[in-house]
């Protein structure tokens, strides 16, 4: 108990936990839209594709500032998205193949560049590989500010365009017939999803980041049939996993924070898939069993003429 109190009053822990919670919240909100638009995998592609951008930004600009590196990540993430979309548009290659193609090419390139840079004689490049699995303990207060500002902008946009995003996600043709340009909305929402991925790279890393985007949303969908509840719940699941993962990695020696956060959110999704009322696996099994027993008792199909 005492170690808990000591932990929560520790400054580094506070910064890292707050950062992870913010990240979980933001990716939870935008991940909901990614999941509902069936673009879960695009997030995975974007985050893997961010790696060469990080290294290139370091090589070209010679800076190790998080902002600079994340800018590189943003550029290569967007480039990858563009490649994927134009491959789908101009060839007969399907979306999933295009995604796998671009993602592995970019990630491979990133690894090659990273290895090359690490062999360079100056020691300045140390720590770049933190972007592969993330290293939450390197979060500084100024990184926190960056997340806070980006998060505030993203959440404001979601609130402002709530009605439009909902309409567009459900029925984009109808949205267009009403005069809401799906091109504009797609661009805006995709850019927002990419941005939410990028700000998580330092904490969780390019490999696990898509889990932060998708998992809280999938878990939240299990518990509700209302969009705003789903988004709120998803934000909550993300935030709570961020704090819990950070605490776990502080209390257990040599447990990395990013993967610990992902494990926490995975536990939530497993519980949700199994136990949620209505959509949960157990509830559905119970329902099927109950129906079967009722029919057996009545001896035949239920009375359909009643209504």
Give yes or no for a contact between 170 and 37, defined as CB atoms under 8 angstroms apart: no
Give yes or no for a contact between 275 and 65, defined as CB atoms under 8 angstroms apart: no
For 254-288, b/e burial (b = at least 16 CB within 10 A) is: eebbbbbbbbbbeebbeebbeebeeebeeeeeeee
Q: Which residues bind another protein (CB under 8 A)?
A: 36, 38, 160-164, 166-167, 169-171, 173-180, 221, 224-227, 229-230
The smaller minimum CB distance to another protein, of residues 97 and 172, is found at: 172
Q: To the nearest whole angstrom, how small is the minimum distance from the Cβ of residue 170 to another protein? A: 5
Q: To the nearest whole angstrom, how small is the minimum distance from the Cβ of residue 171 to another protein? A: 5
Q: To the nearest whole angstrom, how small is the minimum distance from the Cβ of residue 148 to another protein? A: 24
CA distances to 21, 173, 195, 248, 260 from 11, in Å: 15, 50, 27, 16, 20
The smaller minimum CB distance to another protein, of residues 94 and 142, is found at: 94
Contacts of 291 (CB under 8 A, 6+ apart): none
Give yes or no for a contact between 72 and 64, defined as CB atoms under 8 angstroms apart: no
Please give the sequence-ordered ranges of beta strands (E in DSSP) within the chain, or none if there are none. none
The smaller minimum CB distance to another protein, of residues 106 and 168, is found at: 168
The smaller minimum CB distance to another protein, of residues 63 and 172, is found at: 172
The smaller minimum CB distance to another protein, of residues 145 and 153, is found at: 153
Q: To the nearest whole angstrom, how small is the minimum distance from the Cβ of residue 235 to another protein? A: 15
How deeply is 134 buried, as exposed, middle or buried, from its count of CB atoms within 10 A (0-12, 13-18, 19+)?
Answer: buried
Q: To the nearest whole angstrom, how small is the minimum distance from the Cβ of residue 88 to another protein? A: 13
> What is the number of helices (H) and of strands (E) in the chain?
15, 0
Q: To the nearest whole angstrom, how small is the minimum distance from the Cβ of residue 44 to another protein? A: 21
The smaller minimum CB distance to another protein, of residues 5 and 183, is found at: 183
């Amino acid at each position: 108990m005492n170690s808990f109190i000591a932990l929560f009053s520790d400054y580094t822990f506070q910064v890292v936990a707050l950062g992870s919670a913010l990240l979980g919240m933001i990716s939870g909100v935008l991940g909901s839209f990614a999941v509902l638009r069936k673009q879960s995998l695009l997030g995975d592609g974007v985050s893997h594709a961010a790696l060469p951008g990080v290294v290139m930004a370091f090589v070209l600009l010679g800076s190790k500032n998080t902002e600079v590196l994340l800018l590189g990540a943003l550029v290569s993430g967007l480039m990858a998205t563009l490649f994927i979309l134009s491959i789908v548009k101009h060839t007969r290659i399907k979306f999933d193949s295009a995604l796998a193609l671009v993602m592995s090419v970019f990630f491979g390139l990133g690894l090659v560049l990273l290895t090359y840079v690490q062999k360079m004689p100056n020691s300045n490049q140390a720590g770049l590989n933190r972007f592969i699995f993330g290293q939450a303990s390197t979060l500084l207060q100024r990184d926190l500010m960056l997340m806070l500002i980006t998060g505030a902008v993203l959440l404001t946009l979601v609130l402002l365009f709530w009605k439009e995003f909902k309409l567009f996600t459900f029925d984009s043709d109808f949205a267009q017939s009403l005069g809401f340009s799906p091109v504009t909305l797609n661009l805006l929402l995709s850019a927002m999803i990419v941005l939410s991925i990028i700000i998580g790279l330092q904490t969780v890393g390019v490999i696990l980041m898509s889990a932060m985007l998708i998992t809280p949303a999938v878990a939240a969908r299990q518990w509700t049939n209302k969009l705003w509840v789903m988004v709120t719940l998803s934000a909550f699941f993300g935030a709570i996993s961020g704090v819990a993962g950070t605490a776990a990695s502080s209390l257990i020696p040599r447990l990395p924070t990013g993967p610990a956060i992902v494990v926490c959110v995975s536990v939530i999704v497993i519980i949700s898939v199994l136990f949620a009322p209505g959509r949960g696996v157990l509830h559905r099994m119970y329902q099927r069993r109950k129906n079967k027993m009722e029919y057996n008792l009545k001896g035949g199909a239920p009375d359909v003429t009643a209504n």
